[in-house]
Amino acid sequence: MVTLPQKTESRPPRKKARCNLPRRRRSPGLSLRKGIVLFLGITLLSVGLVLFFTVDRGTIWFLFSAKKKFLLEAFGLVVLSWIFDALRFMSFARAAGERVGFRLSVCLTWLNYFGSAITPMQGGGGPFQIYVLYRNGIAVGKGVAITLTRTLVTLFMVGCVVAMTLIFAPDILSGSSFVTGVFYYVAAFVLLTWVLVFLSLIYPMMVKRLGKIVTLFLKRVGIVKPMMVLRVVRRLNREIDNYTENFRLFFTTGFSFFVTGIALSLGQLFCLWSVLPTLVRAVGLPIRYGQAILIQALFNFVMYFVPTPGASGFAEAGGATIFSYLIPMNLSGVMAIGWRFFTEYIAIGLGAIVALRFLGWGMADQILHEAKKEENEA
């Protein structure tokens, strides 16, 4: 049984690093139970519809003739991706001047899958990780910097993989205007994100002024209430100061660990994106590896912005559609579900066990409520 080690002796004083979890009042709307029910309901419904509209006799024949060794290989790739993910978490923690054990890092990896699955736009993984890091002696500010760096590096690696794929296989986008359009959207977003990150590190005051301008504009169009403007600007300035201070550690004293984390991120993504080609090989079909990598990279990125919990529904139906560019339609639905099972469902189940066993239902629910409350206030 996996356990979360507790370092109570090194736990930061509450006055210096408060976790800010509410004790009585809770914001309505988001709850652990609701997130789980929505995820399971939408996932089961979409799986049923995908199988109904894509499976035929040829699908059944291919499944019965599948080579079982490739299924074991796919599972091995998933386990290896968890190991890479845990190691990169340890590396980013060291870059921030903190130490996180391997066992705890694996638990944090699974918690991220679970939290992302039960929240819209996969935003619940971070709060779970930050809370567990705090309980194990890492201040909230550094916990935010570590988890945010992990996400930003993933976006950066997605952009790099897409660029490298196009360099070595420039014809890969030919014949698909949809994939081409998504590619340019991903490239622009990744570039803009990293430009803002570097500007905030080099010119934090300029980013603060830009944030103030954007907030005032949002007030003018009615998105931000007038009484909330000052609160939003103060919160934004505080967050910029916080992550700027912690992020500078990654590029100074912790630079070697930061570079190691980037290399481990590439290994983790490579393992995950190799699952689909392995499943296709299991049924004896050929597949262009570079094209499979590019399509998965683009699809994974788009799923970050799907409003359903864990991108449920869209991942299954969208996967069946976009994978049909690689394999016949009567197999794309089964492959999409198999791909989700290996790359997501297993880790989500393990994350649920970790969350409920070591955080408890009440605390996990409380973390989600606080994350939703802070999101609404910001």
Per residue in 111-147, pLDDT tens? 999 999 988 877 778 888 988 998 889 888 788 888 8
**Residue listed under structure tokens 């639905």:** 333
Residue 372: its pLDDT value, please? 61
pLDDT of residue 20: 42
Per-residue pLDDT of 327-339, as tens digits, reads 999 999 999 999 9
In a domain, 184, yes or no: no
In this model, does residue 217 exceed pLDDT 90? no
Domain containing residue 316: 26-177+248-377
Pick the closest to residue 295 from 193, 183, 187, 185 (CA basis). 183
Given this model, what pLDDT does residue 13 score? 46
**Per-residue confidence band for 16, with pLDDT thresholds at 50, 70 and 90:** very low
What is residue 29's predicted lDDT score, i.e. its pLDDT? 44
185, 191, 195, 198 alpha-carbon torsion, rounded to 10°? 130
User: What number is the average pLDDT over the span 146-162?
Assistant: 82
* Residue 292 lies inside a defined structural domain of this protein: yes
- Would you say residue 81 lies in a domain? yes
In this prediction, residue 43 carries a pLDDT of: 95
Is the pLDDT at 210 greater than 70? The verdict is yes
pLDDT above 90 for 83: yes
Domains held by the chain: number:
1
Q: Which amino acid is at 221?
A: V
From residue 327, how far is each of 41, 173, 202, 370 by CA, in Å? 28, 16, 46, 43
* 351 domain-assigned: yes
Is 217 contained in some domain?
Answer: no
Is the CB of residue 240 less than 8 Å from the CB of residue 204?
yes
In a domain, 62, yes or no: yes
pLDDT in the model for residue 11: 47
Give the pLDDT score at 31: 73
Helices (H), 221-313: 229-250, 255-273, 275-282, 289-303
Average pLDDT over residues 281-291: 89
Residue 267 lies inside a defined structural domain of this protein: yes
* pLDDT at residue 21, as a whole number: 39
Q: Answer with the residue of higher pLDDT: 47 or 291.
A: 47
Q: In the predicted model, is pLDDT for residue 294 greater than 90?
A: no
Burial classification of residue 252, based on how many CB atoms lie within 10 Å of its CB (0-12 exposed, 13-18 middle, 19 or more buried): exposed
Is 162 a member of any domain?
A: yes
